[in-house]
Amino acid sequence: MKVLLSRRDTIRLLILAELITNRKCNQRDIATKLNLTPQAISEYFKELTAEGLIRTVQKGYYEVTDKGVDWLVKNLFDLHVFSEELLKRIYSRSLIAIAVGDIKKGDEVTYWFDRGLIYCKRDGKPNSIALTSAKDGEEVLIKPKDDFKPPDRGKVVVFKVPDICEGGSRSVDLDALRKTIEGKDVVVALGVEALISCRKIGIEPIFFGAREVCVESAHHGCNVVVVCTESLINDLLRRLIEENITFEVKS
């Protein structure tokens, strides 16, 4: 949450976000959007350039470097953790669920977790009250009768795939991979060799942003398979340990 405690870091985050979401913007555009003077925005760009977080593409235009992306991801994740904890407190008063069957405002309903989402229905042992009406499959606002208890973290299975110089997808036991993936909530792939391995068994995994998807899915109670190229596995395991997420490694 450091970025919220420092106006300087907040502005830096907003500048990097603008450069990533709108590559055609320049210093003047960002200064106008963030309500900064040309002198102030110029100083920020000098700092970001000196620290290697951005680089000049052409006069007046910049792009975010890999180092800048890493800085942005780390701070956004800190914000995510902070907002997630805050949402848990808010959700102790109300939740957004998916209706199973038609529900009317004031109905006593039962809610439960399934693959990272909350569902509710009128049957069963009621543990909440519907604050809005909804048809089957629509979102509905509910209020738990007791304190909201978030789902337990999901488990992660890491399936190792050799690097290309060691045979890549051609060296993978596809039957073992298929069995590992079977029944899991989320499948992601880290590395092209891992992506191709999944495709060989007819699975199209989440590829871009796979590491973040893995972590967030596990925090929401999903069981995840990470098909991971061997050279990328150490960084992944370090991240899972930092997030206190249970995992096992297979090959």
| 222 & 163 share domain | yes
Q: Distance (Å, rounded) from C-alpha 129 to C-alpha 116?
A: 21
| 14 & 76 share domain | yes
Phi, psi of 131 (to 5 degrees): -95, -15
| 216 & 234 share domain | yes
Q: Distance (Å, rounded) from C-alpha 153 to C-alpha 176?
A: 25
| 71 & 12 share domain | yes
Identify the CA nearest to 130 among candidates 146, 148, 106: 106
| 13 & 74 share domain | yes
| 29 & 107 share domain | no
Q: Is residue 174 part of a domain?
A: yes
Q: Is residue 151 part of a domain?
A: no
| 164 & 246 share domain | yes
Q: Distance (Å, rounded) from C-alpha 188 to C-alpha 12?
A: 31
| 221 & 197 share domain | yes
For residue 91, pLDDT over 60 is answered with: no
Query: pLDDT band at residue 1, thresholds of 50, 70 and 90?
Result: low
For residue 148, pLDDT over 80 is answered with: no
The 10s digit of each residue's pLDDT in 126-139 is: 999 999 999 999 99
| 105 & 76 share domain | no
% of the chain exceeding 90 in pLDDT: 67
For residue 90, pLDDT over 70 is answered with: no
56, 62 in Cβ contact below 8 A? yes
Is pLDDT larger for residue 91 or for residue 214? 214
| 46 & 116 share domain | no
Q: Give me the pLDDT at residue 93, please.
A: 67
Q: Is residue 150 part of a domain?
A: no
Amino acid making up residue 12: R
Q: Which residues contact 69 (CB under 8 A, 6 or more apart)?
A: 20
Q: Is residue 186 part of a domain?
A: yes
How many domains is the chain partitioned into structurally? 3
| 26 & 46 share domain | yes
Q: Is residue 235 part of a domain?
A: yes
For residue 41, pLDDT over 70 is answered with: yes
Q: Give me the pLDDT at residue 82, please.
A: 83
For residue 51, pLDDT over 90 is answered with: yes
CATH code, domain with 186:
3.40.1010
Q: Is residue 196 part of a domain?
A: yes
Q: Is residue 42 part of a domain?
A: yes
Rounded to the nearest 10 degrees, how much is the dihedral formed by the CA atoms of 10, 15, 18, 24? 170
CATH code, domain with 72:
1.10.10.10
The 10s digit of each residue's pLDDT in 64-82 is: 999 999 999 988 888 888 8
Range of the domain at 112: 92-144
Q: Is residue 72 part of a domain?
A: yes
For residue 92, pLDDT over 60 is answered with: no
Residue with tokens 């029944």: 183
Q: Give me the pLDDT at residue 87, please.
A: 67
| 110 & 173 share domain | no
Query: pLDDT band at residue 239, thresholds of 50, 70 and 90?
Result: very high
